[in-house]
Every structure is written in structure tokens, then in C-alpha cells.
A and B are shown apart, each in its own frame.
Chain A
Amino acid sequence: MIEVLGVKKRYRKKQVIEDVSFTAQKGEITCLIGLNGTGKSTILKGIMGLTPFDQGTVLVDGKPIDLNRVAFVPDHSTFPIHFTIEQCEAFMRDFYPTFDPKLFARLVDEFKLFPEDKLNELSKGTLAKVNLALGIAQDPDYLLLDEPFSGIDVFSKEQIVELFSSDLMEDRGVLITTHEIEDIEYLVDKAVMLNRGRIAREFDVEDVRFIHGKSIVDVMREEYGA
């Protein structure tokens, strides 16, 4: 379980995250929801130590984060753009002891990627698939996905969504931020709704659907008054 406990982050005079606490369970998909600028990406980056929190703690299964067990997939490539996909893979193989080349080969095959392609020649959708393939091939217990559907075409989106319900994601905890909630709503187990740097609501998506007959978007509409 990822535990985010009382984290705070201030940028200059603006308190972007104010005392946020939540958990993301292994084997579940937890979705961080919020309008633009509510601090979703900052929380993911904070968990990974890329934008350190001013206060608060992050624990993964009760211990400080182990980067062998948690993978972060941002909405852009983190490799130099002149790299080919196979160069990215070589780097991952070299530096991540848990990286599984067979798993990566399977994902390359499923996503119909060409290893000799350079990152700067890829469309945004293909780049998103490469990022995801590299992240999953790390074989992490937890996967942090920042806007994986941002700006990508409908077919790439479908392929990625299919992946979430495949055996490749079994037993992994997924913490995801997205604006395309409709596309993954039926896959999400838990939603954490942020508003102005605070947690506005935290709910079991299935409960809300069956008990109150509401979708995530309905709850968002109530919360944000949209």
C-alpha cells in the first residue's frame, strides 16, 4: 500500500498542496482526480521525490519508497529525444535490476512498436505506449501514471485501456491522474478527488455507482459545481 501522509507543498506564496493524506492499495487502480492546477502531478512527483514535499511522509508497504518497486510514467518521455526505443530499453536493462526484457518484448509486440524508431519520430500516442511499456517492464509493485491519455488518439487510448484490464496489471497497485475519466471509469476502484490542494472526497467508485447511482463525473460535477 502507498500511504501519503499529511503532505504539503508551497510554491512561493501559493499553498498548492495542503495537508493531503490518502492511500493506494496494491491490486487496485486509484485515480487522483481534480481540475487543472489542483496538484495531481505534483503529488505523483512528490511521491517519487522529484518535487520534494515541504512536509509529510510517503510510505510504500510501511517503508520509505524503494525505487525498484515503484515506477513512474509521466506524460512525456524521460529519455533524450534522439534515443531509439531499443536504446531506452538498454538503459533500463542496465540500471533497473527488476527490468524484464521479455515483458518489454511482449509489450512492444502488443503495441506494435518498432525498436529502431527514434523517440523524436514518434507520435504522442506511440510515445505514451513506449513510456508505459518501459514502466510496466520495470515489473514494479506500484505504477504511478501521470495523464497517460493526454493528447493521444482514440485507438492508442483503447490499447492502453485494454492493458489495464489485462494480466499485466494484475497484483500491481496503480495510481493514476487523468482528465479522461470516462475512458477508465469502469476500471477504477477508488477515486481521490482534489480541490484547491485538499482532498475534497475519497470514495469507492463501485459503492458510489451501486448505492448512489452516480458516476465519477457526477460526483465531480457536484464537487466542482460545474
Chain B
Amino acid sequence: MNLLKLIGWELDRVKKIYGLLLGVLITIQFGWLAVFLWRNTVLNEEYRREGQSLLVVFHSYLMSTPYILSIGIGLIVMLVFSGWIWYREFWGRGTFMMRLLTLPTKRIQLFISKFITIMMMILGLIAVQWFALVIEYQIFTTWLDGQGIRQQDTFADIRQLDVFSLLYPTSFVNFIIHVMLIAFVVLTIFTFVLVERSLWQRTIFSPLVSIALIGGVLAIPSTIFYVIEQYLFMDELALILVIGFLFSVATLTIIARQYLQKKLSV
């Protein structure tokens, strides 16, 4: 029950900044789409006067700097926010972390609530981006059709682009794998923050100690994989990858839990 309340509480606290992020992304993408279409319409007029015809592809819009920038902003904000969702609780002297740690609830619920909040934000962002893509494509085709401008690619071609094949995999299994990888990144950031915040008398070296600890954990399976990679068949490699991933997840979870329960110092 407290977990649901905590998730509700976290979501309530992020709603403004999340709404702002979505607003910025949508404004950049649709604003740029308007500019993109207008430029091509003008260019098409010039081509027509010279007796030529213009071919516009949706990929050009998606691979343009403003569009890539909007995706990059979303990615960076979510990465930063994965750390900030913890760091903000330590902000100032009257740290809210003190209140959270003295709640009559299991501390691991704090961790889970923040984790679920971040995952909901990331998946929500991916979903909003998908709907935005669909609408952008509709506007794109409708406008160009109306102007009599030729176009080539279909909506399905969008997934051929690296960034969209990662965000919107074609199979459910791939989607689950990608979500697990995102969750792993969030878990790694969470563990880093908890270790760093647990080191008493925090200094400039605290982040380095945290990075060394987490880096050490991640280096073990990576090194083993690197050493034995050449002696294994493909399906054996896949198995080793899965075992290495599970080892990393389990170890990071144990470290995060231990530091949250026993070492976190406010």
C-alpha cells in the first residue's frame, strides 16, 4: 500500500518537469516539421519553374539535426533525472531524505518507487514519441500530397533507422530485451548514487570510489566474456551473455539494497 502511495507521490513530484520535457520535445519536432515542409515547398516551386520535380523523404526529416537533438535531449534528461531523483532528496540542509528514511516503511520500497517512476517516465516518453512520429508522418504525407510533391518512403521504413530500431523493436522479445537494458542502466545509476551518498565525509573522491566499485562489478562478466569469447559457439555466447547480465543485475541490486539499508548516511 505504501509502495503505491510512494509511486503516486513520486509521479506527482515529477509531473511538471516531465510535462515540460514532453512540451519541449513536441515543440521542437513539430516546429521543425513545419519549417522542413515549408522549405521543401519553396524548393519544389523553384524546381518546378526549372522543369524538374523534387523528391522528399521522411528520413531526411528524422535524420536532421533538430530532430536528432530532440531525441538526444530526451535521452540526456532521462539519464540525468535517474540520478537527480535521488540527489534532490539530499538537497540543502533540511534534507527530505531524512524524512523518507524515517518513514515507517521498508527502505527498499523507496528504491522500487523511484525505479518504477523512472521506468514509467522513460516508457511514457517512448510511447509519446511513437504517437508523435505517427502524427508527424501523417502531416508530412498529407502536406506533400497537397502540394503535389513526390515522396518515397513508408512509415514502416522508419524502423530501419538505428535510433528507431532501438526504441521500437519489431518483435515483442526484442522489446522486452530493450526494456531490460534500459532498466539495467537505471539500476546502475541508482547504485552509483546510493554508494556515493553512503560514503561518510563525502569528498571529490566519493564519486570515483563509487565508479570503481560499480565498474569492478561490471568488469567481471565483461572480462570473462572477452577471454572466452573466441572458444565458444554463438548459442553458448548468448548463454554467457545472459548469465553475465543476470550476475550484474543481481550484484548491483544487492549492493544498492545493502547501502540503502545499512550504510546510507544523512
A residues adjacent to B (C-beta < 8 A): 11-12, 45, 48-52, 66-68, 72, 74, 76-81, 91, 94-98
Q: Check A95–B5 contact: CB distance below 8 A.
A: yes
From A50, A52, A67, A98, B98 is in contact (CB under 8 Å) with A50
Contact A77 B94 (CB under 8 A): yes
Q: Does B19 contact A (CB under 8 A)?
A: no
A44 smallest CB distance to B (angstroms): 11
Who on chain B is nearest to A74 by CB?
Answer: B98
Chain A residues with Cβ below 8 Å from B265 are 50-52
| B residues 93-141 touching A (CB-CB < 8 Å) | 93-96, 98-99, 101-105
Give min CB distance, B174 to chain A, whole Å: 39
A79 touches B94 (CB 8 A): yes
- From A11, A51, A76, A97, B104 is in contact (CB under 8 Å) with A97
B102 near A72 with CB under 8 A, answer: yes
Kindly list chain A residues whose C-beta atoms are within 8 Å of the C-beta of B95. Answer: 78
Point out the residues of chain A lying under 8 angstroms from B263, CB to CB: 52
* Min CB–CB distance A116 → chain B (angstroms): 19
Residues of A within 8 A of B96 (CB): 78-80
Q: How distant is the Cα of A97 from the Cα of B101 in the complex, in angstroms? A: 16
Give the residues in chain B near A49, CB-CB below 8 Å.
101-102
For window 227-266 of chain B, which residues contact chain A by CB distance below 8 Å? 262-266
Q: Flag B21-50 by CB within 8 Å of A: 1 or 0 each.
A: 000000000000000000000000000000
A12, A52, A78, A79: the one within 8 Å of B262 (CB): A52
Name the B residues within 8 Å of A98 (CB-CB): 104
Contacts of A94 in B (CB 8 A): 5, 9
Residue from the set B5, B92, B104 with the largest chain A CB neighbour count within 10 Å: B104
**Does B155 belong to the interface (CB within 8 Å)?**
no
> Taking A68-B104, A95-B2 as contacts, is the C-beta distance between A51 and B201 under 8 angstroms?
no
Q: Is B164 an interface position by the 8 A CB rule?
A: no
Q: If the complex has contacts A76-B93, A79-B96, A94-B9, are A50 and B201 also in contact, measured as CB distance less than 8 A?
A: no
In Å, the complex CA distance between A74 and B93 comes to 11
Give Cα distance in the complex from A76 to B264, angstroms: 19
List residues of chain B with CB under 8 Å of any chain A CB: 2, 5, 9, 92-96, 98-99, 101-105, 200-201, 262-266
Residues of B within 8 Å of A76, CB to CB, are 93-94
A contact residues around B94 at 8 Å (CB): 74, 76-79, 81
> Would B266 and A95 count as touching, CB distance under 8 A?
no
Measured CA separation A78–B94 after assembly (Å) = 5
- Is A95 a contact partner of B98 (Cβ separation < 8 A)? no
Which chain B residue lies CB-closest to A71?
B102
Q: Which residues of B contact A51 (CB under 8 A)?
A: 200, 265-266
Within the assembled complex, what's the spacing in Å between the Cα atoms of A11 and B201?
A: 7
Assembled-state Cα–Cα distance A51/B99 (Å) = 13
6 pairs of A and B residues whose beta carbons are closest in the complex: A78-B99, A67-B104, A76-B94, A77-B94, A68-B104, A78-B98
Closest A residue to B101 using CB positions: A50
In the assembled complex, the Cα of A80 lies from the Cα of B5 at a distance in Å of 18
**Bound state CA distance, A96 and B200, in angstroms?**
29
CB-nearest residue of chain A relative to B98?
A: A78
With A12-B201, A49-B101, A78-B95 already in contact, 6 other A-B pairs whose C-beta atoms are closer than 8 Å: A45-B266, A66-B104, A67-B103, A67-B104, A79-B99, A95-B104
Give the shortest distance, in Å, between B262 (CB) and chain A (any CB): 6
Q: A11-B201, A12-B201, A94-B5 are in contact. Are A50 and B93 (CB under 8 A)?
A: no
Which A residues touch B264, using CB under 8 A? 52
State in angstroms the CA–CA spacing of A90 and B127 once bound together: 32
**Chain B residues with Cβ under 8 A from A11's Cβ?**
200-201
Sample 17 A-B pairs with CB under 8 A, ordered by A number. A12-B200, A49-B102, A50-B101, A50-B102, A52-B262, A52-B263, A52-B264, A67-B104, A74-B98, A78-B98, A79-B94, A79-B99, A80-B96, A81-B92, A95-B2, A95-B105, A96-B103
State A94–B93 Cα separation when bound (angstroms): 24
Q: Cβ of B102: which chain A residues have Cβ within 8 Å of it?
A: 48-50, 67, 72, 78
Cα distance A12–B199 in the bound complex, in angstroms: 10
A187 nearest CB across to chain B (Å): 25
Measured CA separation A91–B9 after assembly (Å): 9
A96 to B103, CA, bound (A): 7
State A81–B92 Cα separation when bound (angstroms).
9
Task: Tell me, rounded to whole Å, the shortest Cβ–Cβ distance linking B196 to chain A.
Answer: 16
**Shortest distance between the CB of B86 and any CB in chain A (Å):** 15
- A72: chain B residues at CB < 8 Å are 98, 102
